[in-house]
Structure formats: C-alpha cells, structure tokens
Amino acid sequence: MGRRVNQMSRFNITALALGLAFLYLPIVILILYSFNASRLVTVWGGWSLRWYHEFFNDRAMLDAAWMSLRVAAVSATVATLLGTLAAIGLARGERFKGRSLFSSMLYAPLVMPEVISGLSLLLLFVALNAERGFWTVTIAHTTLTMCFVTVVVQSRLASLDRSLEEAAMDLGCDPVKAFLSVTLPLIVPAIVAGWMLAFTLSLDDVVIASFTTGPGSATLPIRIYSEVRLGVKPEINAICTMVIALIAVVIVIASFASKLSSSQGKSAAPL
C-alpha cells in the first residue's frame, strides 16, 4: 500500500512538473533572450541590456505602451465599479422583472467570440459617428471585462453569511451602513481580484482593440502584432518581459492587499 502511495506521489510530482514546465518554460526562455546581445532571437550572443535601451528610444512603442496602460487602468476601474454594483444587485437585491434577461446579457461576453463583440462595437461607434481612439477602446474593454468582475464578486457575495449583516442591522445599523461596515470589507479581496483580472484582460486584448481603435491610438498588443508579422525582433522580448514584470507586481500588490484585508477582518471579528 505504501509503495503504491509513493508511486502515485511520484506520478503527481512528475505531472505537476511537466504542467509547470509547459506553462512557464516559454516565458523563462523569453525573459532570458530579452537580455541577448545578438540581433538574432534564436542565437545567444551574450548578456546585454541593449534591447531595453532600444525600447526606451522607440517613440512609437512607448506611445503604444502608455496607451495600453491608460486604457487598462481606466477600463478596469470602471468595469470594477459597474461589475461590483451588478453583483450586489444580483446577490443582495430583490427579485425584479427581467432579472433572467439582465443576467444573460451581463454574462454574454463570457461566451461570445471576441470577433463578434468587436464588430458589434465597431458598428455601434460608426452609427454614433464617434471618433475611434482612446475612449472607444476604453468603452469596449469595459464592456468586455465587466462580466468577469461580476462573476468574481458575486461568487464571493454568495459565500458570505448574511447573518453578519442581519446582526449589524439588529444592533442599529441601516442596510447601507451594515453593507459598508460588514460586507464591503469582506468582499474587498474579490473586488481587487476583479480589478486585476480586468486590467490583465485589457492589457492583453488584441481583437476588440483592433476593431475599436483609430489612427494614432494603437495599443501595445496591436503594435507588437504588427511588428511580429514582419519578423520577431529582440526588442519584442524586452517589451514582453517588462509586461510580465508589471503583471507580477500587480499580483504581489493584490496578494498583500488581500492578506491585509483578511487580517483586519480577523482582528475586527471579536469586536
């Protein structure tokens, strides 16, 4: 029996190692080759920061990166606000006529192909005679990511014990104060996770942005895609490495915020 358990443990460890290698080995290789001195991306020429220097001297890439960061930050913030309100309405609100239709429309972007979403938004902006640029891309990304925030926050609300809010109201709090004092601190980790997910999805999007962007407002993924079609440059590896580093920093900050919120919730529980 013990021998069988050891064999299963070895199998699990091997499977986990292979899975992690499949996921992260290409990223590790990309990061290593971002420090390659050679102009050929497949030939190692020694360690160098040359391509990071090239990126910071490439005005077009810098403008695209700044555009992507602004779009991701604004769309993630708006999507988090709207998605959280929608989740509260679905999880805590009263039943209303058309609730099923509202839920279906809210979750539709989760399963709808991005090509259809992008084309629909393009037709909408054309019908409104809206100039395509920063705001059209931001609105499109907000539409795409709001449903993800709603799912994350709603799942957290569904797992909370409503007796905590009822106890707060029994002690004299009105519903709004009970929500702000009890429920909101408990769902902050889900809200932060939703914002981070929305930010990452916006930063990564190519399809919807390609439909809704205009001249002079290309995002970084679109710029990278247009460059890669002509051949992969070592500068692309440096850009992707910095994006990976940015996402890692966001994840670490979100993790610390989640732990801080949990520790505050535990310390406030006896009170």
233, exposed or middle or buried, with CB in 10 Å at 0-12, 13-18, 19+?
Answer: middle
Pull the structure tokens for residue 194.
Answer: 């939703």
The structural domains of the chain, ordered by start, are 54-268 (1.10.3720.10)
Describe the chain by its helix, strand, coil percentages, rounded to 5.
80, 0, 20
212, exposed or middle or buried, with CB in 10 Å at 0-12, 13-18, 19+?
Answer: buried
Q: What is the pLDDT, as a whole number, of residue 80? A: 93
Single-letter amino acid code for the residue at 116: I
Q: What is the pLDDT, as a whole number, of residue 263? A: 61
Calculate Rg over the CA atoms of the chain. 23
Identify which of 26, 45, 73 has the alpha carbon closest to the alpha carbon of residue 237: 26
Count of CB atoms situated within 10 Å of the CB of 265 = 14
Taking the chain (271 residues) in consecutive chunks of 10 residues, what is each chunk's mean pLDDT? 60 84 86 82 79 84 88 94 88 71 78 86 89 90 90 84 72 73 80 87 88 84 80 80 83 71 52 44
**Is the pTM for the entire model greater than 0.75?**
yes
Q: Which residues pair with 123 in a beta bridge?
A: none
DSSP string across 67-134 = HHHHHHHHHHHHHHHHHHHHHHHHHHSPP-TTHHHHHHHHHHHHHS-HHHHHHHHHHHHHHTTPPPSH
